[in-house]
A and B are shown apart, each in its own frame.
Chain A
Amino acid sequence: MTINFISKENNKILNILFLSIPAAFLLPVNFSNIFCIIYLLTTFYFFRKYDLNIKTDILDIILFFFSV
């Protein structure tokens, strides 16, 4: 069994960051927080760079208001 991907871009950095998530949790808390910030900034950058829409559904809005 294999997985087919429709990769739009060669997002190596984003891939590496995403793959590092399980390993990032092994780091001390401060490093995990730094990783989290880098991850967020990089993701935002990629969405802007490739002009991708960030889809939002009603649940996202609910969660946003909850977190605020």
Chain B
Amino acid sequence: MIKNLSLNILNKVSIIRFFFIYWLTKNILQQNLIKIEGFFKVSLFCITFISINIILMHLIGNDIFGNKEIANRFSTIFGERAVAGTYLLNFFFFGFIYVNCLNKKNILITFFFILLTGLGILFTLDRMPFILFVTFFFFICLLNLKKDYKLFIIFLILIPIFLFLLLKYEKLFTRYSKLSALEVKELILVLDKNNKDTQGIYSYSSIIKDSINTIFFEKTLIGSGTSSFYSRCRDFRLQTQKLSIIHGYAYACPKHTHHLYLEILISGGILGFIIFAIAIIIKFFVLTKNVLVQGTSYYTINSILLTSFLVEIFPFRVYGDIFNSYNGLFFFFKISIIYGIMKYKILKI
């Protein structure tokens, strides 16, 4: 009992750190305590470094650290964590601000940076980050069509290159041809008599179905706390005796919902979801207003930041557990930086 209580308190404290990261980072930017230009440069360097490593993994079989392909993923120094695509996608926008807006604008450097990042994301074999990269880069091009048509030309040149690689490179073709039947593999606990671990294969659609069932199973209004999906889904299955057999494997529940909003609905309930949605909607309107209202010199940066925010809150994307340390840090750092830069006009161009 005491052990459970202390674990719960520890869990709560560890979750609150995400809020503090958001709160402090936003304040650092508001009060001009740091040089944000350097942050963009480091983002650019890290993206280039990771992208080159991933391309090297395809060309010579391993990256400069000797990392090889793991479970059909090219995650370079991330190892077993398939987050290289997400990392590149997240920091691409900050690197892009430096290349396209702050540096002496050179269309050739911009082109090579976008090509390198695009290839990096494509070659990680993480499908969702690549789809989001192409979609939202197109969105930036559309927003900047009048001001900077060269970005649209870059987009038009890149699409045939990506399509050629997708069709001609076997690994990419095999991976992306399965897009219609998205599947994930995880080690899951089976609810059989022996209660032993086994390998389960299940689709995203079945996870979403499970999540919705679980939301309306119990604690619908206030939720059941962070990272509680697995235990709640297991309780649901135990009570309703709905043990599924998919692809010949008995399967219980995945570890998390693989979706941002479903995760929020389960952990915070409908009440928590409404609070979160209000915060997101207000932020979205502030960011959109900045794009529309602020002067033309801010326009490109604001449109990139808005796009970066939209990528994060995009509802039709597969998402990691937001309360997991890695994804949580990604999410809260990113929104705090976007909001900090945008609202208080730190950039004077």
Contacts and interface: CB of A to CB of B under 8 A. Distances in A.
Interface of A: 1-9, 11, 14-15, 18-23, 25-26, 28-29, 32-33, 36-37, 39-40, 43-44, 46-47, 52, 54-56, 59-60, 62-68
Contact of B101 (A1, A8, A67): A1
A33 B327 CA distance: 12
Contacts of B101: 1
Nearest to A64: B19
A15 B268 CA distance: 35
A23 B42 contact: yes
B39 A19 contact: yes
B36 interface: yes
Given A66-B272, A66-B275, A18 B21 contact: no
B250 to A, nearest CB: 30
A25 B88 CA distance: 11
B319 interface: no
B38 interface: yes
A22 B43 contact: yes
B59 interface: no
Contacts of B279: 59, 62-63, 66
A18 B82 CA distance: 25
Interface in B1-48: 12, 15-28, 30-39, 42-43, 45-46
Across the A-B interface, give the 6 residue pairs with the lowest CB-CB distance, nearest first. A67-B19, A43-B24, A4-B348, A22-B46, A18-B34, A22-B43
A18 B28 contact: yes
Contacts of B30: 55
Given A7-B35, A54-B24, A62-B275, A29 B326 contact: yes
Contacts of B268: 66
A57 B3 CA distance: 36
B102 interface: yes
Interface of B: 12, 15-28, 30-39, 42-43, 45-46, 50, 77-79, 81, 87, 91, 94, 101-102, 268, 272, 275-276, 278-279, 282-283, 325-326, 329-330, 333, 346-349
Given A25-B330, A68-B15, 6 more contacts: A19-B34, A19-B39, A25-B326, A32-B325, A52-B27, A67-B16
Given A43-B28, A66-B272, A67-B18, A59 B333 contact: no
Contacts of B330: 25
Contacts of B33: 7-9, 11, 14, 46, 52
A1 B16 CA distance: 39
B232 to A, nearest CB: 19
B94 A22 contact: yes
B283 A15 contact: no
Nearest to A39: B21
Contacts of A21: 39, 42, 333
Nearest to B264: A66
A14 B34 contact: yes
A11 B177 CA distance: 50
B42 A40 contact: no
Most chain B CB atoms below 10 A, which of A2, A15, A25, A60: A25
Contacts of B24: 40, 43-44, 47, 54
B31 A8 contact: yes
Contacts of B21: 36, 39-40
